[in-house]
Amino acid sequence: MAKVIQEREKCVGCGACAAVCPKYWEMKGDGKSFLKDSTIVEGNHVLTLEDPECNTEAAEACPVKCIKVEE
């Protein structure tokens, strides 16, 4: 299992994650990205998946490193 974690308050809204991984990421009206189907755990958005799929690329593309993938 993989855990995708977003520290959304650190997001600068560049859109890189949504560009490389639109299945899991979208831009919201506040200009920040959002991890689809995530839940909030200790202030972070968290999604657990069997396979991280394109979320690894989303984490690598993030200029402020507010996305982490733990496997």
The CATH number assigned to the domain holding 62 equals 3.30.70.20
Q: How far is C-alpha 11 from the geometric centre of its chain's CA atoms?
A: 9
Q: Residues 69, 59: contact at Cβ < 8 Å?
A: yes
Q: How many domains does the chain divide into?
A: 1
Range of the domain at 63: 2-70
pLDDT of residue 3: 98
Residue among 43, 47, 37 at smallest CA distance from 2: 47
pTM, 2 dp: 0.95
pLDDT tens digits for 11-45?
999 999 999 999 999 999 999 999 999 999 999 99
